[in-house]
Amino acid sequence: MKTIIEKALKNIVADKFSNAVNILLFPTKDISYGDFYTPVAMQLSKEIQRPAREIAAEIVEALLASEEGRLLGRAEVAGPGFINIFFWRAACKGIRGRGPQGLV
């Protein structure tokens, strides 16, 4: 699941912002903040000189509209521009649990 979302984020960033950035996707320490989070909008903000929260909102909209978005219960902008990603529990059926690398 992590790999699927990383790939989707990479494609969205390339399409919307014509930038190639290293997509950092981390498991959250507190499940109330989602399954994963990414600071990709803050990375882009420095490069393209736009507010990170504005960039994050565009990424969230594109992610939820993407084919991969069907796996997500929701995605939201948090704090200065983090994106919190929540999977549908049904999409996680058969996944063993959360390990050090997130959902496994």
Which CATH number is 10's domain given?
Answer: 3.30.1360.70
Residues 1, 80: Cα–Cα separation, whole Å: 25
58 contact partners, CB below 8 Å, separation of at least 6: 16
Q: pLDDT (tens digit, 9 = 90+) per residue, 75-87?
A: 999 999 999 999 9
Is 100 within the bounds of a domain? no
Is 99 within the bounds of a domain? no
What is the CA angle 61-63-68, rounded to 5? 145
Is 70 within the bounds of a domain? yes
Is 104 within the bounds of a domain? no
Give the number of domains in the chain: 1
Q: State pTM to two decimals.
A: 0.84
Domain range spanning residue 22? 2-94
Q: pLDDT (tens digit, 9 = 90+) per residue, 16-43?
A: 998 878 999 999 999 899 999 999 999 9
Is 27 within the bounds of a domain? yes
Is 101 within the bounds of a domain? no
Burial of 60 (0-12, 13-18, 19+ CB in 10 A): buried
Is 68 within the bounds of a domain? yes
